Amino acid sequence: MGNKISPNELGGSVGLTWVDGEVFYLVNFSPELTFGNFGAGLDVNFRINKEGKLQKGDYDNLRFIRYLRWGHKGDDVYARLGVLDYARLGHGFILYNYKNSPSYEDRRNGVELDWNFGSYGFESVYGDFARAGVIGVRVFRKPFKMNALEDFPILGDAEVGFTIASDVREDAKGRTVDSTGKVHEKGTVGIYGLDVGFPLIRKPGIQSTFYIDFAKILSYGSGAAIGLLTDVPDLGIFDLSSRIERRFPGKKFIANYFDTFYEIDRLTKIKYLETLTNPSPGIFADLTVGLFNTLYVVGTYQQLDDIDESGILHVGTSTGTLIPVIDAEAGYDKKFIKNFEDLRTLDERSLMYVSAGYKPYPFMKVALIYTWTFKKNTKGIYEAQERVEQRVTFSYPL
């Protein structure tokens, strides 16, 4: 098809910000421009002072380019350079929905590169060119290609894959401080895995795969899963990815270790891994819906076999790094779920929240948080309990 700039794929915002004590009006545009298979995600910010002049630096470098991409995940050739949103290797048992930039101020440039040569190929993720971080590669082979079984439904396109992924930063396993105050880094984290995939649907607009995965976290535990993964990469202004799987975790194992929040909680995650000594098989499902290729709504649900009322539901969305000085999120959580009927009710196990934050400085956020919990009244009917909280937080990257 010819070149296309989609007017629908456009986001933006307005607001105020301060630079060196001077007030600026902020105008932000965040479109994705598409030209055939090529796409460019932009993050255009104009800071205008009271005299109508632009803040120097908003327009004299390439920071307004958020990412460049060729194709979509699942195409024979797919590449993305810049900010990574919801990167995945294989079926995602090791690396799933990985985001390389924890905040707008700490925006990082990485790359995804996938290439399918027909009977074999690879997928790859490199999280940060400037500082070594998360690196992962999956190589795969289609053993029945180029032989008599090639045209056999499902089996002809079956894949066997091997994945290795690592956080190569020396503090990936945490840090300790000795009696002299010296910091000691515990080393890198490495994970490898094997998988088999059987494609059920392979069409330009939809792909669905039944899979079996095994993974091992080096020096820790291992786990396995069987599941169904479905991608619908281009529904106009939407894209969709869903997964449902049966998990069989061992001790000291976490599926999807490199996930959406890994760059935020990676140092606490390795500590949590040490506590997982009583694993239980269970069901896990998630659904990710993208809007304009910039804003994502994520829903997840998991339930364990050996623990009563172990169901956990989460639905949420966040502006993330989309808008420089605005940080907004909303969500719904429910825990201790026993059955389907529990999903339909609002009770003491439910929590709803909306948060709107403003960053006058990169290290400071002022937020207004609304939360709703639910409690029975004297008539036995659940009523919403609203709480409003103002919060000021400071964070300095180490």
- Residue 352 C-alpha from the chain's centroid: 21
* Contact (CB, 8 A) for 255 and 249: yes
SS3 156: helix
Predicted local confidence at residue 82, as pLDDT: 93
Predicted local confidence at residue 395, as pLDDT: 55
Count the residues in the chain.
Answer: 398
Predicted local confidence at residue 98, as pLDDT: 94
pLDDT tens by residue, 341-361 = 888 888 888 888 898 887 777
E-strand ranges in 218-349 read 222-235, 238-249, 282-291, 295-304, 311-318, 326-337
State in Å, rounded, how far the first CA of the chain is from the last one.
47
Predicted local confidence at residue 212, as pLDDT: 98
Predicted local confidence at residue 105, as pLDDT: 65
Question: Both tokens of residue 301?
Answer: 């649900």
Predicted local confidence at residue 184, as pLDDT: 60
Predicted local confidence at residue 74, as pLDDT: 85
Predicted local confidence at residue 321, as pLDDT: 60
Predicted local confidence at residue 107, as pLDDT: 82
Residues of the chain with pLDDT below 50 are: 1-14, 397-398
- How many CB atoms lie under 10 A from the CB of residue 380? 6
Predicted local confidence at residue 264, as pLDDT: 83
